[in-house]
Amino acid sequence: MTLDQLPLGQTARISRLNGSSSVRRRLMEMGLTPAATVQAVRRAPMGDPLDVKVRGYHLSLRKEEAASVEVESAGSGNV
């Protein structure tokens, strides 16, 4: 599963990142590293972008970028 498919409110563990090196680098710098937990919080009113919680703060990213983050579901709950 990728981060854009993670149901809202659910928490998952990041397994790997794909995509171009600059996007991958930025996502990881912002804390979306493998093994980090991430929660899908909400979608913007028009469906895109997403708001996720990672390392205790909120990060907004487009579905396109979220699709390059592979996650393994770890159940519901906050991060």
Q: In terms of DSSP H, where are the helices of 1-79?
A: 21-29, 63-66
Q: Are 62 and 7 in contact (CB under 8 A)?
A: no
Distance of CA 68 to the CA centre of its chain: 9
Binding-site member from 5, 15, 33, 73 for another protein (CB under 8 A): 33
Q: Which of residues 40-69 bind another protein (CB under 8 A)?
A: 42, 44-49, 51, 55-62, 64-65
Q: Which is nearer to another protein, 12 or 65 (CB)?
A: 65
Owner of token pair 């854009």: 4
Contact residues for another protein (CB under 8 A)? 16-17, 20-31, 33-36, 42, 44-49, 51, 55-62, 64-65, 77-79
